[in-house]
């Protein structure tokens, strides 16, 4: 790994503008079959700098024709890639991880500039991307493994085979890390990929595809194993989900978009994997270690600008400690450092887009109208042209308010009092989402009971979200379909085949004698 570079705002800004020069100089292209190409239509769209809302760069805007070329390239490359040995894929995926690490400063600074996410988090997200590749590199040799299922007349055995070209569609919040989390297992399984990144933050995908394509071709793999097409969801994204060469769609984004994709993919019977929205509860009982609970509550909603699917956006605090807990939280929230995303001291950067900032800023009014208290924040921050929003805390909220039901996806926490265990479970489950739940208590039995009873795919007890890559990641209800992580990802990217071989002794029914 390279030495850690200088870390202050002037230094990071200077390095970032160096890295961004290539994107600002012309139109950011697609990568199809190893070739950088512009859209066949010539169309482009602009991205903006969340600090100023000035134009950041022009990006090729793909449509059905570009998607068609990319999907055909992925289908062609699949013929070769599926037969590359697991050992070779392991070597290639580790080489991709090496290349990500070598360019981690560039990836982090480009991602931070594109999304407004504070550099303190993006630096780790770039390295986590490399870790995802290493994790699946080591699993590639065993990806095809199956079971032996003998009966008296036959020996049955199963094997797994890659399903085919995959459409990967990702959101704007932490695009690099999320893309690697989809693409690494797909490649390890032997699948090829067409990636359509979010139109608000397309830049780190260019670096990732470039790295993967270079490494694969350097190791003798075909061009077209990974392809990148930029564009609008309703055009490029839609065409990708409808393309007959695409066998499965791995999607991370909003719940309503998931519904669209399911409809769009119906005609070609796409397999889908959805990681969607959340309105996750963190339940704090009066017997909890309240200092640790407070640290975790704040981290899980105010890190990553609150633009995080697993954020603890509803804090359910037991009545007896509610007032004290809310007061301590308010003090800390008011103290959060809002600033330039490239400043290593910044805890909250600008939100990605003026439209998103407006959406987030509509909730303080809704909170007041419904009778909740805006205890901290609720306004724009720092003045200027950027999308800075004050970290915001709503207290005295009820779960039927919109601030408790809707995913705000910003640095905004809704704090709700509860009476007892039953009340906490009822309130937690009374939303359409079910991604994660966080429980803070020292009562072991209660922790197990609530973990069992919460409608969520992932539960953490006395902890913030700490990922262990072999464990299943995903949601229930309207938070998603399917699981990522460990071997679970291979269930999605691969088909299981059964082979039955007779011992040549069983009686075969004879007809037509
Ligand atoms: P989004 O659904 O608006 O967009 C996601 C992607 O889908 C983009 O690339 C977009 O261009 C594309 N898209 C839009 N319409 C499409 C269509 N009709 N067909 C195909 N593709 C289409 O989501 P967003 O606003 O970019 O991201 C925020 C959302 O993502 C939040 O709801 C958040 O909770 C969710 N998210 C979930 C997870 C998770 O793991 N559950 C992780 C991160 C983000």
- Do 391 and 451 share a structural domain? yes
Predicted confidence (pLDDT) per residue in 393-441, tens digit: 999 999 999 999 999 999 999 999 999 999 999 999 999 999 999 999 9
Q: Which residue from 116, 196, 254 has its CB within 8 A of the most atoms of ligand 1, so it is best to mutate?
A: 254
- Do 262 and 339 share a structural domain? no
* Residue 481 CA from chain centroid, whole number: 14
- Do 334 and 264 share a structural domain? no
Q: Give a yes or no: residue 479 inside a domain.
A: no
- Do 297 and 263 share a structural domain? no
Flag whether pLDDT at 470 surpasses 70: yes
Per-residue 3-state assignment (H helix, E strand, C coil) for 81-107: HCCCCHHHHHHHHHHHHHHHHHCHHHH
Distance CA 414, CA 392 (A): 9
Strands (E), 69-198: 154-162, 166-169, 193-196
Distance separating the N- and C-terminal Cα atoms of the chain: 74
Predicted confidence (pLDDT) per residue in 495-511, tens digit: 999 999 999 999 999 99
Nearest Cα residue to atom 21 of ligand 1: 237
- Do 254 and 304 share a structural domain? no
Q: Maximum Cα–Cα distance for the chain, whole Å?
A: 91
Flag whether pLDDT at 181 surpasses 70: yes
What pLDDT, on a 0 to 100 scale, did the predictor assign at position 383? 87
- The DSSP string of 482-511 is S-BSTTHHHHHHEEEEEEEEE-S-SPPP--
Distance CA 229, CA 66 (A): 7
Predicted confidence (pLDDT) per residue in 8-63, tens digit: 999 999 999 999 999 998 999 999 999 999 999 999 999 999 999 999 999 999 99
What pLDDT, on a 0 to 100 scale, did the predictor assign at position 139? 98
Distance CA 217, CA 318 (A): 57
Contact 456, 477 (CB under 8 A): no
- Do 303 and 242 share a structural domain? no
- CA 308 / ligand 1 centre spacing (Å): 12
What pLDDT, on a 0 to 100 scale, did the predictor assign at position 477? 98
In the set 242, 245, 275, 347, the catalytic residue is 275
- Do 35 and 112 share a structural domain? yes
- Do 233 and 138 share a structural domain? yes
Residue finishing a domain among 276, 295, 315: 276
Nearest Cα residue to atom 30 of ligand 1: 253
- Inter-CA distances, 127 with 16, 106, 390, 471, Å: 17, 11, 29, 19
Q: Give a yes or no: residue 494 inside a domain.
A: no
Confidence of residue 2 (pLDDT cuts 50, 70, 90): low
What pLDDT, on a 0 to 100 scale, did the predictor assign at position 6? 75
Predicted confidence (pLDDT) per residue in 90-115, tens digit: 999 999 999 999 999 999 999 999 99
Residue finishing a domain among 276, 306, 341: 276
**Does the C-beta of 241 come closer than 6 Å to ligand 1?**
yes
Residues 193-197 have a mean pLDDT of 99
Confidence of residue 386 (pLDDT cuts 50, 70, 90): very high
Predicted confidence (pLDDT) per residue in 265-323, tens digit: 999 999 999 999 999 999 999 999 999 999 999 999 999 999 999 999 999 999 999 99
CATH code, domain carrying 428: 3.40.309.10
Is 321 strand, coil or helix? helix
Distance CA 312, CA 280 (A): 5
What pLDDT, on a 0 to 100 scale, did the predictor assign at position 25? 87
What pLDDT, on a 0 to 100 scale, did the predictor assign at position 122? 96
Residue finishing a domain among 431, 461, 491: 461
- Do 307 and 272 share a structural domain? no
Give the total number of structural domains in the chain: 2
- What is the phi/psi pair of residue 346, to 5°? -70, 135
Q: Give a yes or no: residue 376 inside a domain.
A: yes
Helix (H) or strand (E) holding 155, with range, is strand 154-162
Give me the residues paired with residue 392 across strands. Answer: 412
DSSP designation for 378: -
- CA 118 / ligand 1 centre spacing (Å): 21
- Do 134 and 46 share a structural domain? yes
CB within 8 Å of 154: residues ≥ 6 apart: 500, 501, 502, 503, 506
Distance CA 469, CA 184 (A): 12
Range of the domain at 440: 281-461
Q: Give a yes or no: residue 508 inside a domain.
A: no
Confidence of residue 7 (pLDDT cuts 50, 70, 90): confident
**pLDDT averaged over every residue in the chain:** 97
Contact 435, 278 (CB under 8 A): yes
Nearest alpha-carbon partner for 499 in 216, 155, 243: 155
- Inter-CA distances, 143 with 43, 94, 108, 232, Å: 40, 16, 30, 34
Strands 193-196, 226-228: pairing is: parallel
Predicted confidence (pLDDT) per residue in 325-363, tens digit: 999 999 999 999 999 999 999 999 999 999 999 999 999
Q: How many CA atoms lie within 13 A of 397 on its CB side?
A: 29
Nearest Cα residue to atom 43 of ligand 1: 309
Contact 473, 483 (CB under 8 A): yes
What pLDDT, on a 0 to 100 scale, did the predictor assign at position 96? 98
Ligand 1 atom at shortest distance from the alpha carbon of 232: 11
Judge whether 275 counts as a catalytic residue: yes
Predicted confidence (pLDDT) per residue in 217-268, tens digit: 999 999 999 999 999 999 999 999 999 999 999 999 999 999 999 999 999 9
Contact 329, 294 (CB under 8 A): yes
CATH code, domain carrying 27: 3.40.605.10
Distance CA 329, CA 333 (A): 6
Strands 154-162, 494-502: pairing is: antiparallel
Q: Give a yes or no: residue 475 inside a domain.
A: no
Helices (H), 277-335: 290-302, 319-334
- Do 125 and 35 share a structural domain? yes
- Do 240 and 385 share a structural domain? no
What pLDDT, on a 0 to 100 scale, did the predictor assign at position 5? 73
* Residue 263 CA from chain centroid, whole number: 22
Give the chain's radius of gyration (CA, Å). Answer: 24
What pLDDT, on a 0 to 100 scale, did the predictor assign at position 48? 97
């Amino acid at each position: 790994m390279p030495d850690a570079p200088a870390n202050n705002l002037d230094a990071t800004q200077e390095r970032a503008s160096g890295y961004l020069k290539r994107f600002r100089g012309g139109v950011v292209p697609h990568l199809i079959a190893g070739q950088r190409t512009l859209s066949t239509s010539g169309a482009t769209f602009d991205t903006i700098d969340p600090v100023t809302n000035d134009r950041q760069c022009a990006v090729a805007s793909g449509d059905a024709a570009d998607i068609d070329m990319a999907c055909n390239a992925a289908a062609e490359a699949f013929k070769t890639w599926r037969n590359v040995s697991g050992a070779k894929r392991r070597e290639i995926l580790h080489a991709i991880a090496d290349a990500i690490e070598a360019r981690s400063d560039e990836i982090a600074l480009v991602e931070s500039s594109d999304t407004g996410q504070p550099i303190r988090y993006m630096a780790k997200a770039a390295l986590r991307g490399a870790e995802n590749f290493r994790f699946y590199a080591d699993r590639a040799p065993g990806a095809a493994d199956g079971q032996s299922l003998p009966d008296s007349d036959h020996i049955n055995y199963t094997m797994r085979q890659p399903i085919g070209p995959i459409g990967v569609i990702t959101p704007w919040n932490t695009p690099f890390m999320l893309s690697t989390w989809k693409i690494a297992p797909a490649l390890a399984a032997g699948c090829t990929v067409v990636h359509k990144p979010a139109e608000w933050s397309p830049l780190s995908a260019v670096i990732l595809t470039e790295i993967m394509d270079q490494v694969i071709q350097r190791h003798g793999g075909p061009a077209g194993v990974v392809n990148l097409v930029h564009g609008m969801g309703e055009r490029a994204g839609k065409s990708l989900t409808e393309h007959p060469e695409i066998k499965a769609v791995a999607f991370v984004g909003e719940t309503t978009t998931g519904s669209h994709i399911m409809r769009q993919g119906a005609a070609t019977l796409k397999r889908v994997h959805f990681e969607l929205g959340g309105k996750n509860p963190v339940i704090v009982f009066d017997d909890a270690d309240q200092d640790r609970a407070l640290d975790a509550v704040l981290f899980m909603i105010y890190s990553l600008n609150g633009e995080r699917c697993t954020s603890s956006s509803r804090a359910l605090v037991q009545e007896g400690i509610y007032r004290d807990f809310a007061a301590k939280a308010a003090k800390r929230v008011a103290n959060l450092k809002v600033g330039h995303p490239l400043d290593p001291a910044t805890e909250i950067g600008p939100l990605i887009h003026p439209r998103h900032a407006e959406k987030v800023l509509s909730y303080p009014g809704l909170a007041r109208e419904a009778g909740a208290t805006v205890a901290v924040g609720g306004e724009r921050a720092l003045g200027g042209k950027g999308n800075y929003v004050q970290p915001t805390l709503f207290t005295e909220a009820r779960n039927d308010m919109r601030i408790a039901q809707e995913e705000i996806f910003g640095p905004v926490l809704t704090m709700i009092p509860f009476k007892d265990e039953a009340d906490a479970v009822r309130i937690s489950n009374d939303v359409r989402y079910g991604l994660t739940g966080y429980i803070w208590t020292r009562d072991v039995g209660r922790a197990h009971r609530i973990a069992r009873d919460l409608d969520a795919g992932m539960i953490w007890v006395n902890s913030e979200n700490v990922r262990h890559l072999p464990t299943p990641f995903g949601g229930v209800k309207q938070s998603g379909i399917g699981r990522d992580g460990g071997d679970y990802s291979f269930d999605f990217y691969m088909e299981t085949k059964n082979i039955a071989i007779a011992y040549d002794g069983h009686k075969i029914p004879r007809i037509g004698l």
